[in-house]
Amino acid sequence: MSRDAALLWLLALLVAGLFALSLLIGPAGLTLAQSLGALLRGEGAAETLVMREIRLPRAALAVLVGAALGLSGAALQGYLRNPLAEPGLIGVSGSAALGAVLAIQTGLAAAFALALPLAALTGAVLAVLALLGLAGPRGGGFTLILAGIAISALAGALTSLALNLSPNPFAATEAVFWMMGSLADRSFTHVWLALPFIVLGGAAVLTLGRGLDALTLGEDAAEALGVGLARLRLVLVLGVASAVGAATAVAGAIGFVGLVVPHLLRPLVGAQPSKLLPASALGGAAMILAADIAVRLIAPERDLKLGVLTAIVGAPFFLHLIWRTRREGL
């Protein structure tokens, strides 16, 4: 078995282990035997409800959201040839958050179960259309960053405006907590909503490996190697937006995972962008599973938000990154 295959197996095992661990942790205080019996054989009504309707969708969402963020971060870093790129850069997460906040403020979120994530997805779709319109059909990574920053800034400002003018302090509080990002109290309807977007978006991004590898030589050389840059960028934007938009819609804004995971794994795959894609998807899933286990262990009573934890762990890592980049004189 090659080194790359071994790494992917190892990461997959890590994800499987953390997935199992995630199923066994929660305020219900079930024993191992109770948990397995309820999950696999449906023993005990209350236990079965906890395992199948609360813990299983939560763990499944952690895998989906983590994979979407890790993969998107790796793909954007590869495309922009910049290790500081992250999934939020193209403005999709900010716009999805705006959609969600508007749904909460207008009371739409209370109308039916999926109203909030659907509003967030709508925000993500509008952001992609604006992004592609602004960045144009051709043009390189630079215009994409600029367009993404502009959209992020606008979405952020409009989100602030919605909170600012909120007639209802409870709705404002709810919106603020939603934006912190969490996987608590999610159901299988959330899983089924996010799954197709994340799977299709992820599959599209995973096809870009060879083009991203060629981009190591720069845009000019990659194009001369037969890589269609315009098509690559379109697939990348649509794939990332689909996966990250859906992830944000069901889990809120969870930062730093898409930045940190590709960074940690890059040295282990010889820095090759194509090999980093699947590794980062698995690594992202493992990291979100671990963080979601941690929020339940650290403060079981306080509903510590997942996005807060990833930011608290991620920000010092980011500082370390800046420090190391400066030391290497890059």
Partner 1 sequence: MLSIENLTVRRGDVTAVDGVTLDVGAGEFVGLIGPNGAGKTTLMRAALGLLPHEGTSSLAAMPAATRARHAAWLPQTREIAWPVSVETLVRLGRTPHRSTGGPRADTKAVDAALARMELEDFRHRTATRLSGGEQARVLIARALAQEAPLLLADEPIAGLDPAHQLAAMETFAALAGEGHGVVAALHDLGLAARFCTRIVVLHRGEKHADGTPGAVLTPELLAHVFAIRAHYEQTRDGPVFQPLERLR
Distance between CA atoms of 47 and 181, rounded to whole angstroms?
Answer: 27
Asked if 230 touches partner 1 (CB under 8 A), the answer is no
Quote the least distance from Cβ 90 to partner 1, whole Å.
19
CB of 280 to partner 1, least distance (A): 14
Q: Indicate whether 216 belongs to the interface with partner 1 (CB under 8 A).
A: yes
Q: Cα separation of 53 and 50, whole Å?
A: 6
Q: Which stretch binds partner 1 (CB under 8 A): 18-26, 180-188, 270-278, 308-316?
A: 270-278
Q: Which stretch binds partner 1 (CB under 8 A): 25-33, 55-63, 219-227, 245-253?
A: 219-227
How far, in Å, are 89, 140, 190, 265, 281 from residue 269 at the CA level?
A: 24, 26, 33, 7, 13
CB 179 within 8 A of CB 252: yes
Site string for partner 1, 195-214 (x = CB under 8 A): ---------------x--xx
Q: Which of residues 20, 157, 225, 315 is near partner 1 by CB under 8 A?
A: 225
Q: Which of 225, 207, 208 is nearest to 217 (CA)?
A: 225
Per CB under 8 A, 226 contacts partner 1: yes
Q: Is residue 81 within 8 Å of 141, Cβ to Cβ? A: yes
With binding defined as CB under 8 A, does residue 218 bind partner 1? yes
Residue 194 half-sphere exposure toward CB, CA atoms < 13 A: 32
- The angle at the Cα of 217, spanning 215 to 222, to the nearest 5 degrees, equals 50
Measured from the Cβ of residue 164, the count of other Cβ atoms closer than 10 Å reads 9
Buried b (16+ CB within 10 A) or exposed e, 223-232: beeebebeeb
Among 272, 308, 313, 321, binds partner 1 (CB under 8 A): 272
- Is 233 near partner 1 (CB under 8 A)? no
Query: Residues 110, 129, 271, 319: which binds partner 1 (CB under 8 A)?
Result: 271
User: Among 46, 217, 297, 319, which residue sits at the site for partner 1 (rule: CB under 8 A)?
Assistant: 217
User: Residues in the site for partner 1, rule: CB under 8 A?
Assistant: 81, 210, 213-218, 220-221, 223-228, 266, 270-273
